[in-house]
Amino acid sequence: MKNFRIAVVVGSLRVESFNRKMANSLIKIAPRNLRLEIVEINQLSLYNEDLDASPPVSWVEFRNRLREFDGILFLTPEYNRSVPGVLKNAIDIGSRPYGKSVWAAKAAGVISVSIGSLGGFGANHHLRQTLSYLDMPTMAQPEAYIANAATLFSDMGILVDEKSREYMETFLHEFSHWMITNTPEKNMASNR
C-alpha cells in the first residue's frame, strides 16, 4: 500500500481549540499509510498581493512546507456560517502568486468541528467551494460535521467519545482510499 504525507491545517488559533484536539487525535488513530503532520498557520501575516514580489519569510516557509505533502486535511470551526479568517488567509497565501498554487492537484479532506449541533456545516461547505476552485479533489463521503465538541474530549484533550472515535477511524480509512485514487504518481512527494 502506498504511503502518504498529509498536512493537517487547523483553522483555529485557540490553544484549547476542539479542532486542534481532533487533529491531535487523528494523528494517533490514522492508518499506517497516512502520516499526518500539523502545519501551523498562526505565523502568517495577512495576505497582500503587493508583497508577492518579495514575500515575507513566513509565507515562503509555509508554501515550501506544503509542497512536501501529498494531500491536505483541513479541520475548521465555524465562524458566522463560514471558515475563520485565519484559515482563509492561509489558503490565499498558499494559492499565490497566480499560477503557483501549492494546493493545486493535492487531494483533500474536510472536517468541521463545532460546539453547536450543526457541526460546522456552513464552514465545511464554504471551504469545499474554495477547494474546488483551487483544483483540489476533495473527498465527498463520508462527510465529517462533528457536533457538540465540548462533550467529546477529556480534560487532557483526548477524544473519549467512542462513536466519534469510530467515525473518525472510518473517515481516515476512506481518506486513505481517496488518496490512493486521487494522487497521480507525479504529484507524490513522499514516495519519490
Split into its structural domains, the chain has a count of 1
In a domain, 131, yes or no: yes
Q: pLDDT tens for residues 101-147?
A: 999 999 999 999 999 998 899 999 999 999 999 999 999 999 999 99
In a domain, 135, yes or no: yes
Whether the per-residue pLDDT at 91 is higher than 90: the answer is: yes
Mean pLDDT of 166-180: 97
In a domain, 138, yes or no: yes
Q: What is the DSSP string of 54-94?
A: S--HHHHHHHHHHHT-SEEEEEE--BTTB--HHHHHHHHHH
In a domain, 17, yes or no: yes
Q: pLDDT tens for residues 28-37?
A: 999 999 999 9
- Average pLDDT over the chain reads 94
Could you list the residue range(s) of the whole structural domain that residue 178 is in? 4-187
Burial class (CB in 10 A: 0-12, 13-18, 19+), 52: middle
Mean pLDDT of 65-87: 96
In a domain, 192, yes or no: no
User: How far is it, in rounded angstroms, from Cα 149 to Cα 168?
Assistant: 13
In a domain, 136, yes or no: yes
pLDDT band at 192 (very low <50, low <70, confident <90, very high): very low
User: How far is it, in rounded angstroms, from Cα 47 to Cα 81?
Assistant: 22
Any residues with CB less than 8 A from the CB of 176 and at least 6 apart, and which? 4, 31, 33, 34
| CATH, residue 75 | 3.40.50.360
In a domain, 112, yes or no: yes
Sign of the CA dihedral 171, 7, 150, 146?
A: negative
In a domain, 90, yes or no: yes
Whether the per-residue pLDDT at 191 is higher than 60: the answer is: no
Angle between helices 85-95 and 121-133 (to 10 degrees): 10
Mean pLDDT of 53-67: 97
Mean pLDDT of 151-165: 95
Whether the per-residue pLDDT at 190 is higher than 70: the answer is: no
Whether the per-residue pLDDT at 162 is higher than 50: the answer is: yes
Burial class (CB in 10 A: 0-12, 13-18, 19+), 192: exposed
Sort residue 91 into left (φ over 0), alpha (ψ -120 to 50) or beta.
alpha
Whether the per-residue pLDDT at 159 is higher than 70: the answer is: yes
pTM: 0.94
pLDDT band at 186 (very low <50, low <70, confident <90, very high): low
User: How far is it, in rounded angstroms, from Cα 11 to Cα 20?
Assistant: 9
Which comes out higher in pLDDT, residue 117 or 185?
A: 117
Mean pLDDT of 144-160: 95
